[in-house]
Structure 1
Amino acid sequence: MSGGLDSSVAAALLLEEGYDVRGVMMRFPVYTTGRGNSCCSQEAEESAYQVSKKLGISLEISDCVENFNEKVVGYFCQEYSKGRTPNPCAVCNRSLKFDFLLKKAADMGVDFLATGHYARIEQDKFGVCFLKNGIDKWKDQSYFLFLLKSHQLSKIKFPLGNYRKEEIKKMAGELGLEVHDRPESQEICFVKDDYREFLKEMVDMGKFTINKDIFKPGDIVTKSGKKVGRHQGIASYTVGQRRGLGAYNRPVYVIRIDAVENRVVIGSDEDLYLKNLSVNNLNWLDRKSLESPEEFKVKIRYRHKAAPALVSPKGPDGVELVFRDAQRAITPGQAAVFYKGDILSGGGWID
C-alpha cells in the first residue's frame, strides 16, 4: 500500500476476487529537498490508513528508511558521481518492493505479493510464468520491473495489468476511495525537479559516497575536443539536454558526459542518434542466458517506443546491441529492456 490510487484499487480488486488481503506500507526517508506529496510522506501514510479502514483490511508500516538509503539513494548518488543517469525506480523495485516484501510475505505466511504496477504475469501450460507488459500502453510499467527474478514471478500478482488507467480511476470513485482525486506519484518519489539540490543535500549529510567534483566547473567541448564554453558541474547535465549550455549560432545538445576529464561534450541533434550500444549486468526472465544473436524490441528509457534491434552476446554478462534504426539520446546508466512481443525477456544497464 502506498496511499495512492493504484495500490488502493489493487487491494479492492483482490478483495472482490475473494483473497484475504493484508496491507503493508514501506516507510521511506523524507528529505528537505524531497517531494512533499510523494509516497514517502506522512500524508501518504495517513491516506493508506484511511483506505485500509475503508476496505476493512489490516495495515502494517515497515520501516525501510535505512534499507532505502543504502540500496536506492546510495546507488543514485554513485551513478551521478560517475557521470551516469540513474534509474532508481528499477533498483527500488528489485531491492525493496519485491526482494524485501516477498521475504516479508513468506515470514507472514502469506502466499502472494500484490502491487499496483501496470504489468501482467501469465503462466503457460507447463506452469512457467512470464512477465508481460500492461494492456494500457501509456501506463505500462514493465520496463521498471526488468530486475525481477524468474523464480519470483509465481509469487507475484499485478491486479491492474488488464485494466486501463481511466478504468482504475472510475473504480476508485465508485468505491468511494478519496485517493481517486490525488495527484499521481512521480517517477522519482524522493527528489524534486532539481536533483542537483538533492545531491548537494546528500553531500552535506556526509552519509553517501559522492564525488564532489561533479559540482566543479569544467569545460564544454565539441566532439572534436574544441573548448567552446564552461559548465557549472556535470551533475547538472544528462545526454540529450539542451538548456544550460550557453548561446551558440545553432541548436546544440549534450551528447556525452566525460566524468574523468570533467567535461560536457556537445553536438547537433543528429549527433544524438546512434545504432550501437553495450549493455552489461544482465538479468534474464524468460531464459538463463543469450546463447546467440537474436532480435528483440528494445526500450532504452521508460517513455521510449520499443525499437527492433539485434542483440549479440558479449562476455559472461553483457551484450552488444545494434538497432535497425538509430535511436536518439542513448543514455549511460539507464536500462535497456528486451521484449519478445508483449513478453519481457530481460534487460541490463547501458554503458
Structure 2
Amino acid sequence: MKVLAAMSGGVDSAVAAARAAQAGHDVTGIHLALSRNPASYRSGARGCCTIEDSNDARRAADIIGIPFYVWDLSERFHEDVVEDFMDEYAAGRTPNPCLRCNEKIKFAAVLDRALALGFGAVATGHYAQLRTGEDGLIEMHRAIDHGKDQSYVLGVLDQHQLAHSLFPLGDTHKSAVRAEAAERGLLVADKPDSHDICFVADGDNAGWLREKLGDRAPNHGGAIVDDATGEELGRHTGTYGFTIGQRKGLRIGTPAPDGKPRFVLDIEPVSGTVTVGARERLAVDRLSGIKPRWCGTVPRRLEGTVQLRAHGGEHRAVVTTADDAVDIELLDPAFGIAPGQAAVIYDGTRVVGSATVSATVSATVAATQATT
C-alpha cells in the first residue's frame, strides 16, 4: 500500500515511518510547514514548526531511504487552528489546539490530499492502537504505554479517517522507540519531546494571546471578584489571560479569610468579570457537550469513562446522546473543567468519540440545591 508518513522531525514520527517502510509499504515522507515564518511560531527543537525540525525530518527520510517533501499548510493551519484558538479564548473558553490540528489538518487536509494522490493511508507517530471490531468497524484503543497514550487528542477522528490511518507505535513503549531509533541510525533518537502548544514559542499562552488578540478582544480589562462576597479583589488586562481552575498568576493582594488559595471559577468575557473562589467550588458532576465526533457507531447510552484533559485521568461516567447534544454524568466529580475543553469518551480502552464541553454543573451547587 502507498503510505504517506507525516514526519514532524521528532523521534516518534521517524520510527513510525521506518516501521511502515519495513512492513513493505511504499512510503513517502512529508513535513508540514505550518508557518511561513517558522521562527514566529517556535524557536529551538521543541515542536513541529521550525526549520530545524524540517531538516531533522529530511535527514531521517534519507536514512530510511524514502522520498521526502515539504507541504505548505500554513494558511490552513492559521485559519483552522491558530484563529480558532484565539477566538475561543476571546470568548472565555479553553480550547485544545492539538485536537483541532488532528481534526482539521493532519487527518483532514493532509488525508484528503493523500487520497487524491493515490495514497491509501497516512502514518503518524501518535501513540494509539487500531483494531478491527467484531462489527467490521475500525476501533481506536489506548496505547500500550499509557504514559504516552495520545488517544485523547485523536478522539475527533471518524470511521473514514481511522480506516485510512496507521499508528505504528501504539504497541510499543516510548523507551523502546528511542532504542529502536538509535539502532536504525536515526539522529533524532535522543531529541527531546515537544511540549506546550507548538505555535506559542515560549509557552506563555497569556502573553501570546495578549499580543495577538489586541483590539479583537471583547474587553481589555475588568474586575476580579470574590465568589462568596462579590467583593472586587483586583483588576486584570483581559479575560483571555485566564482559564477555569487557574490558581497562579491571579495577582490578588487580599488573602482569603481562611488563608487558602483562590481559583478561577468563572470567566465572563463581555463584562470582563473573572470570578474566583475556593477549590471545592470547581467540582462538577455533569457536563453538556456539543459538536460530537464519533469514531464509530453513535451510542445512545453508555456507562464508560471520560477523559477531560490530554494528560488527565479518567472519570467514570454515564453518557447519553440525542441528536447533536451529549449529556455526561460524572460518577467521579472533576475539578476545574472549562467550556471549550474536549470530553473524550471511552468504553474500556476503546475510544467511542468526543464532544466539546459547552456547560458544566457544579457538584457543590447541585448538592446545596438538593438539600434546600
Structure-to-structure mapping, 1:217-296, within 5 angstroms: 217-224=221-228, 225-245=230-250, 246-247=252-253, 248=255, 249-287=259-297, 289-291=298-300, 293-296=301-304
Give secondary structure in 2 for the equivalent of 1:350.
strand
CA offsets 1:140-176 (integer angstroms, 9 cap, x no match): 1010011111122121110000011111011111111
Matched position secondary structure for 1:181: coil
SS in structure 2 opposite 1:312?
strand
Task: Could you tell me which runs of 5 or more consecutive residues in structure 2 were left unpaired when the two chains were aligned.
Answer: 1-6, 359-372
Consecutive unaligned residues in structure 1, runs of 5 or more:
none
Q: How many percent of aligned residue pairs carry the same amino acid?
A: 37
Q: 1:310 aligned to 2:318?
A: yes
Contact 1:130 1:343 in 2 (8 A): yes
- Contact persistence 1:89–1:187 (CA under 8 A): no
Letter of the 1:20 partner, please give it: D
Structure 1 296/196 Cα, relative in aligned 2: closer, same or farther at 3 Å? same
Tell me the residue number matched to 1:333.
340
Greater mean deviation of Cα atoms: 33-42 or 334-343: 33-42
Q: Deviations over 1:76-120 (max 9, x none)?
A: 110011011111100100111011121122122112111100011
Q: Do the aligned residues in 2 keep the contact of 1:14 with 1:21 (CA within 8 Å)?
A: yes
Matches within 5 A, 1:203-222: 203=213, 210-211=216-217, 213=219, 216-222=220-226
Q: Please tell me whether the aligned partners of residues 117 and 161 of structure 1 are also in contact (alpha carbons under 8 angstroms).
A: yes
**Which letter does structure 1 place at the counterpart of 2:43?**
G
Q: CA deviation at 1:231?
A: 2.2
RMSD of aligned residue pairs (Cα, Å): 1.7
Aligned: 1:87 with 2:93: no
Secondary structure of 2:116 counterpart: helix
Correspondence 1:1-351 to 2 at 5 A = 1-29=7-35, 30=37, 34-37=41-44, 38-191=47-200, 192-203=202-213, 210-211=216-217, 213=219, 216-224=220-228, 225-245=230-250, 246-247=252-253, 248=255, 249-287=259-297, 289-291=298-300, 293-314=301-322, 316-351=323-358
Closer, same or farther in 2 for the Cα pair 1:124/1:118, shift >3 Å?
Answer: same
Is the contact made by 2:96 and 2:341 (CA closer than 8 Å) also made in structure 1?
yes
Alpha-carbon offset, residue 331 of structure 1: 1.6
Amino acid at match of 1:22: T
Moved more, 156-165 or 183-192: 183-192
Say how many residue pairs are matched. Answer: 342
2:270 and 2:299 map into 1 onto residues whose CA distance is 32
Does the C-alpha gap of structure 1 residues 250 and 127 become closer, same or farther in structure 2, counting only changes over 3 Å?
closer
Aligned-pair distance for 1:276?
1.4
